[in-house]
Amino acid sequence: MRIVSGIQPTGNLHLGNYLGAIRNWVAMQDEWAPQSSEIKRLQQLAGIKSKQESANESRAECFYFLADLHAISMPHDPKALGENTREMTAALVACGIDPDKSTLFNQTQVPAHAELQWLLNGTARVGWLNRMTQWKDKAGKNRDGQSVALFTYPVLQAADVLIYQATHVPVGEDQKQHLELARDIAQKFNNDFATEDAPVFTLPEPIIPPAAARIMSLRDGTAKMSKSDPSDMSRINLTDDADAIMGKIKKAKSDADALPSEAEGLEGRPEARNLVGIYAAMSGQSVAQILGDFGGKGFGAFKPALGELLVEQLAPINARFNELRQDREALNAILRKGAEKARAASAPTLAATYDALGLVR
């Protein structure tokens, strides 16, 4: 099992990024692969002592990267990009990505991503890219005015995962189409340039987090929590201290009714649903359990409990983040070391791709 995922170094990670993506990355890094935990459970049932505690080979191998090459597909500030790349690295480590367990790096330091993208440009079809909804949304009516990079963005994303023979790619719902494109490219390349028993690329499976992890704005329960929302009150940032978190939750939009005692009662109440969803995601409890406790109570009781839960869980992350983000050298070293591992892991697939295409190396 090989897990690969990337995140754009936009700066300012918030609760939505944490619960929607980063926390899953950490869980995948730390958890046993599904087959092995199943084996472990059966062994426990049978009273056999597991030898797997010390054997690392059943753990999924994780590659997590900052998609800094993707960031140049839109107008950007070069000074901010470098700072954001390090800042995001600090945030990922603070959230629990362990550079010794996972391979953590930025695309730029692994040229194989850009090289493979060029090679895959021979296989990807203009019609496929024209159908990408992210391209259509971002380009709007002005396609001619966009960078070529915005158009070929999904081919780079395909290269990102195919270069490591990824088996699983955790992404948000909005990236599912890009993953399907990666599969189409892999399949066409294998068909055109490889044999069935020696394919060059593995077809990756997307892992989409459950709907519960979709965190909405604190000011509008129908809009995604986003770093580009002009109101800072709409989101909990990983840089927020305890007072800021409590203040934002107290002022979060809600409604005048008490919480229902069953999940169905949240229908048509997007803000209430969002706040309960955040509580569920942070506590690991089900919505039903939470409504069992808070049903019939108003937001005057629920909000302080939610605020305390957030403070308790985010305070250690916040502390590690504030410490690490100051340490430019340590962050550079983490990225350098990760890139070294990633370059080694990417070399065989890149070589096989050149060979399959008949390019003389």
Query: Distance between CA atoms of 11 and 88, rounded to whole angstroms?
Result: 6
User: Measured from the CB of residue 178, what is the shortest distance to ligand TRP in angstroms?
Assistant: 6
Instruction: Fill in the DSSP letter of residue 240.
Output: -
Residue closest to ligand TRP, measured at CB: 6
32 bridge partner residues = 59
CA-nearest of 36, 32, 5, 71 to 208 is 5
User: Measured from the CB of residue 159, what is the shortest distance to ligand TRP in angstroms?
Assistant: 9
234 binds ligand TRP (CB under 6 A): no
- What tokens were used for 253? 């939009």
User: Measured from the CB of residue 89, what is the shortest distance to ligand TRP in angstroms?
Assistant: 15
* Helical residues (DSSP H) of the chain, grouped into ranges: 15-17, 23-30, 34-45, 68-71, 78-95, 112-121, 126-130, 133-139, 148-162, 176-193, 242-251, 270-283, 287-294, 299-324, 328-357
User: Measured from the CB of residue 114, what is the shortest distance to ligand TRP in angstroms?
Assistant: 12
Among 16, 28, 63, 70, binds ligand TRP (CB under 6 A): 70
161 binds ligand TRP (CB under 6 A): yes
89 binds ligand TRP (CB under 6 A): no
Query: Distance between CA atoms of 137 and 315, rounded to whole angstroms?
Result: 36
Among 22, 67, 132, 245, binds ligand TRP (CB under 6 A): 67
The rounded Cα 95 to chain-centroid distance in angstroms is 12
Is 49 one of the catalytic residues? no
346 binds ligand TRP (CB under 6 A): no
Is 227 one of the catalytic residues? yes
Query: Distance between CA atoms of 238 and 11, rounded to whole angstroms?
Result: 11
Size of the site for ligand TRP (CB under 6 A): 13
Among 175, 190, 254, 274, binds ligand TRP (CB under 6 A): 175
Query: Distance between CA atoms of 196 and 190, rounded to whole angstroms?
Result: 8
Instruction: Fill in the DSSP letter of residue 170.
Output: E
**Do the Cβ atoms of 87 and 60 come closer than 8 Å?**
no
Piece of 4-12, 188-196, 288-296, 311-319 that binds ligand TRP (CB under 6 A): 4-12
- What tokens were used for 350? 């890149």
Q: In 3-state terms, what secondary structure has residue 226?
A: coil
**Do the Cβ atoms of 282 and 249 come closer than 8 Å?**
no
Among residues 101, 188, 224, 341, which one is catalytic? 224
Is 251 one of the catalytic residues? no
Among 22, 169, 246, 335, binds ligand TRP (CB under 6 A): 169
Among 3, 5, 162, 164, binds ligand TRP (CB under 6 A): 5
Among 73, 157, 190, 318, binds ligand TRP (CB under 6 A): 157
The residue (of 10 and 36) whose beta carbon lies closer to ligand TRP is 10
User: Measured from the CB of residue 229, what is the shortest distance to ligand TRP in angstroms?
Assistant: 17
Active-site residue list: 138, 224, 227
Binding region for ligand TRP (CB under 6 A): 4-8, 67, 70, 157, 160-161, 169, 171, 175
